[in-house]
Structure 1
Amino acid sequence: MNLEGKKILVTGADGFIGSHLTEELVRQGHDVKAFVLYNSFNSWGWLDASPKEVLNELEIFAGDIRDPYGVKQAMKGCDVVLHLAALIAIPYSYHSPDTYVDTNIKGTLNILQAARDLHVEKIVHTSTSEVYGTARFVPITEEHPLQGQSPYSASKIGADQLALAFYSSFDLPVSIIRPFNTYGPRQSARAVIPTIITQIAAGQTSIKLGSLHPTRDFNYVKDTVAGFIAVAKSDRSVGEVINIGSNYEVSIGQTVDVIAELMGKKIEILTDDKRLRPEKSEVERLWASNAKAKELLNWEPVYGGIDGFKQGLAETIEWFTNPAHLSQYKTGMYNV
């Protein structure tokens, strides 16, 4: 699909990945509508920090993905929908699973129903590597079994299956992008990389973390954004689930060591029980196969391997250590 001349709706545009994706689409000259969560502060989330030249080209729609009427209003006149709006914090899903069902499953249903009624040309639905649970084999291909090891991952499995059901039942042009662990500027401190960086940047020498042994496949946000755009453009992606991953596995403990080295600090790691997942809920190992993305999308990570990981971390550290950015994070408390 050629995106030129298409009206593109980005849901979750106020969030971490969504704001980066929205900005990149505008920079590429696309016609973009940003769906942000309505609030009484009139905040557009991370889009409030976007350059004026980007905001001047954006149409903003404030609403709630759980509201079918508002979703349909937002989608009117749009040709392509990139659906990122979701609740994603795993610890909070233990506390309030009902809200994850409403937002992630019912919210996705609202998108699919409206897309069907409005004859939208392409829907890119956002999945997550968490749906795989602890790897049964590596690298993880798209054929890996799905395992709902947290209410969050279970809600995303449900949303993914709804999207595929609408493709099979109604021939709705849906593609599912499945990013592995994305990191970069603006990420919430509930995620491990910002947690490490912000604690060190705040001058703490004893860093509070959860489990150090699990492994992850980290993706720098620029690579993830490029993956979204590649999926949107690819006709071959319709009806497919596609991993976006670096194909590089690293443990949380090794990640701490690399960050401390890049920041030139010696630190002590303290285990904080509040940050530990329930034993059977912890995803012990994630390592992506990105062969399908290379084949169907001609996408591959720019920030791959240990050198790419260090480069992405360096750019992330540079952003977080800016006092104006660091001041927006509560470094002395655990972010659920």
Structure 2
Amino acid sequence: MNVLVTGGAGFIGRWVVKRLLNDGHQVSVLDDLSNGREDNLDEFQGHPGLVQFVIGDIKNRGLLEKLFAEGRFDVCYHLGASINVQDSIDDPETTFNNDTVGTFYVLEECRKHTVKVVFMSTCMVYDRCMDDKGITEQHPIKPASPYAGSKIAAENMVLSYYHAYDLPTVVIRPFNTYGPFQKTGGEGGVVAIFIKNTLAGKDLHIYGDGTQTRDLLYVEDCARFVVAAGYSGRVNGQIVNAGLGRDITINQLAKLIAEDDGKIKHVTHIHPQSEIPKLLCNYDKAKELLGWEPEVSLEEGIRRTAEWIQTSHLM
């Protein structure tokens, strides 16, 4: 197939690109490099399947029109977005424009050219998990940040194009994804930050009391899920979760990663109003419709991530 990946130079995006190339597709990447990095795609330079890497903005309608007219795409994996919760609280307009308005522009091109849309949403749209059965797709949503609100708005637009225009679309909600190529600074994920600080002998800072839980999905499992959603018509018009199906408190995660418990410190939460106390994924729907389930345990994923951080000299 001919495939477009927006946000393809990002952390999850580059793994999606890798999977698509391995499956033999012709892949175009669009990324404005606000979150992504050009060197995330270094591994694929010269690959015959990587048709083009365009540095550009999904809000540039002229650029989108040209890309879609020339690309003859079968599927658009729309991963391009503002992803930082705190940034969305500080500057909601940028997040809304990127995540909601930008998604509308992508949808319009997909509608004109009849291109399937796989829309990357987030588990952050959910209200807290109340039991150990996990969060299903029918679970209540709660836009506790402008990031979550913008994603919910975009999800509704994506699904409206399925119902109004019979355009094949799917909304996917991966839970907290981590692994190699994730940023290890303040804008990165908790696993990458904890590993980097542990390797550097620094303290691990936990926001609040650390009892909040996360369901942590290894990035290659996530990419497998994302790609599979584009291949299957069974998920068209659907919302589908993916996660490990196991949650862990941030306190437990820190102890799992830290070599010295004395290095674990609790600090004042920077955005307690948008904190979700418990996140636990129920991925039964993904298993039923896509035959997908996670393959990498948390312990193995942490080991692989630590190895990558060490060999990439990111300490």
**Deviation (angstroms), 1:66:** 1.5
Q: Deviations over 1:187-228 (max 9, x none)?
A: 123221111111112221x22231311111110001001101
Aligned positions of 1:251-290 closer than 5 A = 251-260=249-258, 264-273=259-268, 275-278=269-272, 280-290=273-283
Q: Supply the AA of the counterpart residue of 2:20.
A: L
**C-alpha distance in 2 between matches for 1:162 and 1:97:** 19
- Partner of 1:151 in structure 2? 146
Q: Does 1:208 align with 2:202?
A: no
- Partner of 2:309 in structure 1? 320
- Partner of 1:301 in structure 2? 294
Q: Does structure 1 retain, via aligned residues, the 8 Å contact 2:2–2:26?
A: yes
1:64 to 53, 57, 73: 57
Q: Supply the AA of the counterpart residue of 2:288.
A: E
Unaligned runs of 5+ in 2: none
**Deviation (angstroms), 1:168:** 1.2
- Partner of 2:179 in structure 1? 184
Q: Does 1:198 align with 2:199?
A: no
Q: TM-score, normalised by structure 1?
A: 0.86
Q: Deviations over 1:216-242 (max 9, x none)?
A: 111000100110111111110100000
Identity over the aligned pairs, expressed in percent?
33
2:129 to 118, 125, 135: 135
Q: Supply the AA of the counterpart residue of 1:74.
A: L
Q: Does 1:100 align with 2:89?
A: no
- Partner of 1:172 in structure 2? 167
Instruction: List 4+ stretches of structure 1 deviating above 6 A.
Output: none
2:299 to 295, 310, 315: 310
Q: Aligned with 1:172: secondary structure?
A: coil
State the superposition RMSD in angstroms: 1.9
Q: Deviations over 1:123-142 (max 9, x none)?
A: 10011000003224541000
Q: Deviations over 1:63-110 (max 9, x none)?
A: 101122222222231111000000001111111110011000001101
Q: Aligned with 1:199: secondary structure?
A: helix
- Partner of 1:248 in structure 2? 246
Q: Aligned with 1:182: secondary structure?
A: strand
Cα 1:265–1:72 shift into 2, 3 Å: farther
**Deviation (angstroms), 1:53:** 4.8
Q: Supply the AA of the counterpart residue of 1:202.
A: A
**Deviation (angstroms), 1:55:** 7.7
Q: Aligned with 1:50: secondary structure?
A: helix
Q: Supply the AA of the counterpart residue of 1:143.
A: Q
Q: Does structure 2 retain, via aligned residues, the 8 Å contact 1:61–1:74?
A: no
- Partner of 2:117 in structure 1? 123
**Deviation (angstroms), 1:46:** 4.1
Q: TM-score, normalised by structure 2?
A: 0.92
Q: Does structure 1 retain, via aligned residues, the 8 Å contact 2:171–2:240?
A: yes
Q: Does 1:23 align with 2:8?
A: no
**C-alpha distance in 1 between matches for 2:110 and 2:313:** 37
Q: Does structure 2 retain, via aligned residues, the 8 Å contact 1:37–1:44?
A: no
Unaligned runs of 5+ in 1: 1-5, 328-336
1:88 to 76, 83, 87: 83
**C-alpha distance in 2 between matches for 1:198 and 1:314:** 12
Q: Aligned with 2:95: secondary structure?
A: helix
Q: Does 1:73 align with 2:66?
A: yes
